[in-house]
Amino acid sequence: MPASEAFRAALNYLPRVALAHLPTPVEPLPNLTKAIGGPALYIKRDDLTGLATGGNKTRKLEYLMAQALNEGADTVLTAGSTQSNHARQTAAAAARCGLACHLVLYAPGGVAPAVFNGNLLLDHLLGATIHWTEERAPYAAGLARVEAEVRAAGGVPYTVPYGGSNAYGVVAYAAAFLELAEQMAAEPPFDAVVFATSSGATQAGLALGAQLAGLERTTAIYGISVDQPRDVLAPRISALMRDGAALVSLDALDLPPVLVDDRYRGGGYGVLGEPEREAIRLLARHEGILVDPVYTGRALAGLIDRIRRGEFGRDQRVLFWHTGGAAALFAYADGLV
Ligand SMILES: Cc1ncc(COP(=O)(O)O)c(C=O)c1O
């Protein structure tokens, strides 16, 4: 049986809660392509997956929330930064599934910000209980503390890993790549797929999916790191890919190398710079589509720079995989006007 069929068969056995609007559209970006002089650019709209403004975590949460429900949880926990898209999507998924949600969020000094804005405002509206911390990713101590508190109060907690990045998150994005391959079956395959990478399961899944589709030598899967250096992130993504393949009993699969580009980390995680500002404006003004300052604006800035450096030819076809995050724009208003 071809690996993609074995994958689909195994996937059918994994519990899943339908949360995402799928398939997400693939659209050409003719105006941006013209403005920057090619290659032919396309966009995969995972900013339209749903869950209180969408994003890449919705696909992962379909499998993760199913695990929570199967384990009899009444509460889900996760963690992230103040403007975490993952936290907001987890809060929305919990509301949809009738579960309580606790979020461990980083803020300077571990103190709640004076203004609740962007994703944080949405966390509040979605009914999440927020615990502030000074701890940084992956927030193990904060999550363990809140998990113990939920148990002590008689609750049954399920902890969604940081970024939704475990084997379930990986298979969700392997399936997403197969969705893309099916949508584009009548057209030449893309030369590259470019996107923001951070906790790693999106990239691990897309690379696994390209392998399953037999496109691993045709379509380069380029993650633009928003925070971690390549030598830290690439081995983590390789390990996630192995975990994902094992979950669907494809342990023997010959897995592809991981392509992480860490040249665009600018001033560090969440620091808005001129490249992100330009990318946000270019996509908004030429195509009417919003990217965010932290992830997708940074990844798009990286893609634009690579094009300007001549790393892609005019005759090539490149897909920007939009992973969401525009809710954070409002929290960066001062730096964007
Ligand atoms: C908008 C957005 N894009 C990309 C990513 C990175 O995805 P991953 O954590 O799977 O690497 C995130 C993660 O938080 C995100 O919120």
Indicate whether 48 and 74 sit together in one domain: no
Distance (angstroms) between ligand 1 centre and the Cα of 322 equals 10
Token pair for 330:
């409002």
Last residue of one domain, picked from the residues 164, 190, 219: 164
| Ligand 1 center–CA 276 separation, angstroms | 16
Is residue 137 within 8 Å of residue 56, measured between CB atoms? no
Query: Which atom of ligand 1 approaches the CA of 195 most closely?
Result: 4
Report the nearest-CA residue for atom 10 of ligand 1. Answer: 202
If asked whether residues 318 and 192 sit together in one domain, one would say: yes
Regarding whether 174 and 144 lie in a shared domain, the answer is no
Strands of 75-81's sheet in order across: 129-133, 100-106, 75-81, 157-159
Question: pTM of the predicted model, to two decimals?
Answer: 0.98
- pLDDT band for position 214 (50/70/90)? very high
The mean per-residue pLDDT over the stretch 145-164 comes to: 97
Same domain? For 279 and 227 the reply is yes
- Tell me the mean pLDDT in the region 252-258: 89
Q: Does 86 share its domain with 156?
A: yes
Which residues, listed in sequence order, are joined to residue 261 by a DSSP beta bridge? 224
Atom of ligand 1 nearest to the CA of 202: 10
Q: Which of 132, 164, 196 is the last residue of a domain?
A: 164
Please give the distance, rounded to the nearest whole angstrom, from the Cα atom of residue 296 to the centre of ligand 1.
8
Same domain, 61 and 172: no
Amino acid (1-letter code) at residue 290: L
pLDDT interval class at 40 (50, 70, 90): very high
Q: Does ligand 1 lie within 6 Å of residue 86's CB atom?
A: yes
| Position 252 pLDDT exceeds 90 | no
- For residue 286, the model assigns a pLDDT of 98
Domain ends where: 136, 164, 192?
A: 164
pLDDT of residue 2: 87
- The two three-digit tokens of residue 51, written as one number: 């869950």
Examine the domain organization and report whether 313 and 179 are in the same domain. Answer: yes
Is the minimum distance from the CB of 88 to ligand 1 under 6 angstroms? Answer: no
CATH code, domain carrying 34: 3.40.50.1100
Q: Is the CB of 223 under 6 A from ligand 1?
A: no
- If asked whether residues 240 and 261 sit together in one domain, one would say yes
For residue 67, the model assigns a pLDDT of 98
Average pLDDT over residues 74-99: 98
Encode pLDDT of 100-118 as tens digits. Answer: 999 999 999 999 999 999 9
182 and 325 both lie in a single domain: yes
Same domain? For 187 and 64 the reply is no
Which structural domain range is residue 134 located in? 57-164
Residue pLDDT, tens place only, 216-247 = 999 999 999 999 999 999 999 999 999 999 99
Structure tokens at 46: 């995972």
Candidate from 89, 105, 323, 329 with most ligand 1 atoms within 8 A of CB, to mutate: 323
Same domain assignment for residues 200 and 308:
yes
Hey, which of 63, 160, 199 would you mutate to test ligand 1's pocket, going by the most ligand atoms within 8 Å of its Cβ? 199
Q: What percentage of the chain has pLDDT greater than the value 70?
A: 100
Phi, psi (degrees; rounded to nearest 5) at 32: -70, -40
Quote the number of domains for the chain: 2
Ligand 1 geometric centre to CA of 198 (Å) = 6
Would you call 8 exposed, middle or buried from its count of C-beta atoms within 10 A (0-12, 13-18, 19+)? middle
